[in-house]
Structure 1
Amino acid sequence: MREHRVTTWLELQDALFAGSWNEQLGRHRSSFVFRGMPFVEHDLSTALNRQGMFIRQERDLLRAFRKYARGTTHEPLDSVWDWLALAQHHGLPTRMLDWTFSPYVALHFLTEDAELRGQDGVVWCVDYRETNRLLPRPLKALLRREGADVFTGDMLAEVAGAIPELDRLTDHPFVLFFEPPSLDARIINQFALFSVMNGPELRLDTFLAKRKKGVRRLIIPAALKWEVRDKLDQANVTERVLFPGLDGLSRWLRRYYSPRPL
């Protein structure tokens, strides 16, 4: 894993889009996904395994969610993976972590929290083509057959119809990236996807720290955060767009009109 501390906006752009040129296509098509975090010391534990809180309750949590959530969603969800995505999207502790295909969406989440404006932030950048090399054979074969780089719920269900079946595919830790169905405008506008590991107790940062290729940590110093935030606002990467509705509008206005502290 490589770590790079950026010092300017232009250096940040170069780092975020490094390696995006696809010679075969003749286009800029990055194979990286991004996760922005406002404090550099924040880890990549999930809500399920943070401090070991819910590891043993994973099955119970999802079973209860599926039971009580039926009738509240307009989308028919057949796959357990789509149910898991819905649960993650609405705050249930799961083994998933939120990622985005958009480096600017990642920067939004790095700069949104005004209370952490004095702390260095971090953007994790992961090349899913590199992490896919470590997938067990059935998952690799599925990606090749579909001509895909990330999974959908329907694809995962072909190999693992239940979460324990994923865990039994191999004894070695791996991570896959899963693109959820378009449950609402928030998922669409955030260009969202999730990471999933083959065990409720596994930590993604521990896994990524051992990778020599395809993983970068970009450290954004606190002094640069205000410039990044102002330029994201100018580019319309705001709460009003990423969280459509009155709640997102209010969050944007409250932050946008807050005075910058001296």
Structure 2
Amino acid sequence: MSLFQLQGRTAIVTGGSSGIGLACVELLLEAGAAVAFCGRNEERLRSAEAQLRQRFPTAKLLAEVCNVLDAQSVKAFAAASERALGAASVLINNAGQGRVSTFHDTSDDAWTEELNLKFFSVIHPVRAFKAQLQGQADAAIVCVNSLLASQPEPHMVATSAARAGVMNLVRSMATEFAPDGIRVNGILIGLVESGQWRRRFEAREERDLDWSQWTAQLAHKKHIPLGRLGLPIEAARAILFLASPLSAYTTGSHIDVSGGLSRHA
């Protein structure tokens, strides 16, 4: 039996076709869970699905195109996953990337877009899956959040504010959902390798640096004590812990996965 005891359970991962979300799907399948994951880009979603089915040929797996900002799309995803895999007992909300902008150059439309993305990428899936979750033993919701929630950056003002709101939302849901037997937690990530960082690497000025050298330099500039960027799988391991019975007495909390970047105790 897996250390994380997820056999016979169904897990949902939003934004699961790449990065941290895909790493979560892989770990959940390794732990014996049935997994439904979604993404907006169908080509990337199908590519991820094909790789997973090759690696886990007997796994119970569902991949669906879904826009988490569209309530009806999320409801359809919830219904499809329940039909295919049974009621969900784990929901992992994996929100999108950050917005680089200061207060001066963030327009009203940009504020609206960022707040809408960060909040409703959590709100819509929780609404759609809550009825399934509350009927399961040790149900868990885990939200992927950023260290910006507690350590804001002026060049990412909208994202920092939105992330802080999501951290508050996690705590509020944890208190409200506790009587329903649903735990709600999150992780706060620092700089984690992603497509966004890969694109910045491709646009770098220091053409003589390879990926490992460039990211080491970046980690030094950002004062990351561990001296490197995190890996998606490292964030996924923290998520898996919070999704599993190993964290059965933990709710309303966040795990720091930032390589020591946090300046707060």
**Pairwise TM-score range, normalised by the shorter structure:** under 0.3
Larger relative contact order, structure 1 or 2 (CA cutoff 8 Å, min sep 6)? 1
Q: TM-score, normalised by structure 1?
A: 0.25
